Amino acid sequence: MAASEPPPDEQPSPQFPPPLPYKTWVLKVSIHCQACKRKVKKVLQSIEGVYITDIDEKQQKVTVTGNVEADALIKKLIRSGKNAEMWHEKSSFNDKKSGNPNQRPEGAKSNENIYLLILR
């Protein structure tokens, strides 16, 4: 029996790195046709840290998930010739009437962090 190998009960457990924080950003991007949609998708997927892109052509709404900041996304889109800005949800009349500024409109998404754990 080898003296350098500890018994199975005393083997240290493997250390995993902390999970990567994912952020989801919603942007308003000028999209007029399928060619614009392809260009936006190509530009966003070329950015390091972008994992998921979802484009709603009718609303000109682009949802990006990844380990990247919104400023980097917007700058890259503007450099490629596309107008881009953060998507601002319009408050409904009922929210303004209630006087509660912290109340989200029904169906609005929160900016929640998503973590990815990679096991090897």
Tell me which residue of 108, 49, 53, 51 sits closest to 84, measured CA to CA: 53
**Lowest pLDDT segment from 4-8, 82-86, 102-106:** 102-106
* Higher-confidence position of 84 and 12: 84
Reported pTM: 0.59
Give the tens place of pLDDT for each residue, 110-120: 556 666 666 65
